[in-house]
């Protein structure tokens, strides 16, 4: 079963539009961690945010905001006033003990490709 | 710059060959993860080391092996290479806690011809 689902394969917007990237996760652990990463065309994976399962407080960082809702097992990412430089593949990841029973291992969704047109 | 260094950045080799990918984690990080990214499989977890010990295995083929040395750098060995092994291989490291975020290197692009 897929643990992290990013149903949106590709999103295309025009600059200055707001865009929300969806992430739905599945875990039986009560303690787990959620992440978002950005992969620009250059290929590196850039860490954006971490959330633990006990902290449902939403977070805003500049044009980025994250909405964590345990009731719906979702951790969505919104970019306000998108810019061309936001064009990248965005990955949501879940870290829990489920895979090994011991280590917390980040499991990634398939990613959402965001294309921002000028 | 994440502080994680991977070498080489690009590697082209023939089928049947063996290669070694190297990773230097961020200073002080004890955990090293290896991931394979391909178009059809996405980002797949391969293996995790913590302070020199193997802690978890994912979808790692028997032809692949890894180790973490006392200085905490890690190597991923890929042998009997097949065309399907062509992918981007990432190393990531995280701090002393086992629940902190992982920082990724720039990856090694492996092309098997």
Q: What is the pLDDT confidence band of residue A103, given thresholds at 50, 70 and 90?
A: confident
In this structure, are residues A90 and A112 in contact, taking their beta carbons and an 8 Å threshold?
yes
Rounded to a whole number of angstroms, the distance from the CA of B55 to the nearest CA of chain A is 6
Within 8 A by CB and 6+ apart from A3, the residues are: A25, A26, A27, A94, A96, A98, A107
Q: Say how far apart CA B79 and CA B62 lie, in whole Å.
A: 9
CB contact under 8 A, A106 and B55: no
CB contact under 8 A, A35 and B90: no
Nearest to B97 by CA among A48, A20, A95, A4: A95
Q: What is the pLDDT confidence band of residue B99, given thresholds at 50, 70 and 90?
A: low
Name which of A44, A102, A105 is nearest B104 (Cβ-Cβ). A44
B48 touches chain A (CB under 8 A): yes
Residue A24 CB coordination number (10 Å): 17
Nearest to A3 by CA among A77, A102, A113, A104: A104
Q: Mean pLDDT lowest for which of A22-26, B25-29, B72-76?
A: B25-29
- Residue A29 exposure: Cα atoms within 13 Å on the Cβ side: 21
CB contact under 8 A, B42 and A37: no
A36-91 confidence digits (pLDDT tens): 999 999 999 999 999 999 888 888 889 999 999 999 999 999 999 999 999 999 99
In this structure, are residues B77 and B17 in contact, taking their beta carbons and an 8 Å threshold?
no
CB contact under 8 A, A47 and B99: no
Token reading at A111: 């990613």
B33 touches chain A (CB under 8 A): yes
């Amino acid at each position: 079963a897929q643990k992290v689902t990013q149903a949106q394969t590709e999103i295309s917007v025009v600059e200055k539009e707001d865009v929300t990237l969806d992430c739905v996760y599945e875990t039986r652990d009560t303690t787990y961690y959620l992440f978002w990463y950005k992969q620009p065309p250059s290929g590196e994976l850039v860490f954006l945010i971490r959330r633990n399962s006990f902290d449902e407080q939403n977070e805003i960082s500049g044009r980025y905001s994250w909405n964590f809702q345990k009731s719906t097992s979702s951790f969505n990412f919104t970019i306000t006033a998108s810019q061309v430089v936001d064009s990248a593949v965005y990955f949501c990841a879940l870290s829990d003990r489920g895979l090994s029973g011991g280590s917390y291992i980040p499991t990634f969704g398939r990613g959402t490709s965001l294309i921002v047109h000028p | 710059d994440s502080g994680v260094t991977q070498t080489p950045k690009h590697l082209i080799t023939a089928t049947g060959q063996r290669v070694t990918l190297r990773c230097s984690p961020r200073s002080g990080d004890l955990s090293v993860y290896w991931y394979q990214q391909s178009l059809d499989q996405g980002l797949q977890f391969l293996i995790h080391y913590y302070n020199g010990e193997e802690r978890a295995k994912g979808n790692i083929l028997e032809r692949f092996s890894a180790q973490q040395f006392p200085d905490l750098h890690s190597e991923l060995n890929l042998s009997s290479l097949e065309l399907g092994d062509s992918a981007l291989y990432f190393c990531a490291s995280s701090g002393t806690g086992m629940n902190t975020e992982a920082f990724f290197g720039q990856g090694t692009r492996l092309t098997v011809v």
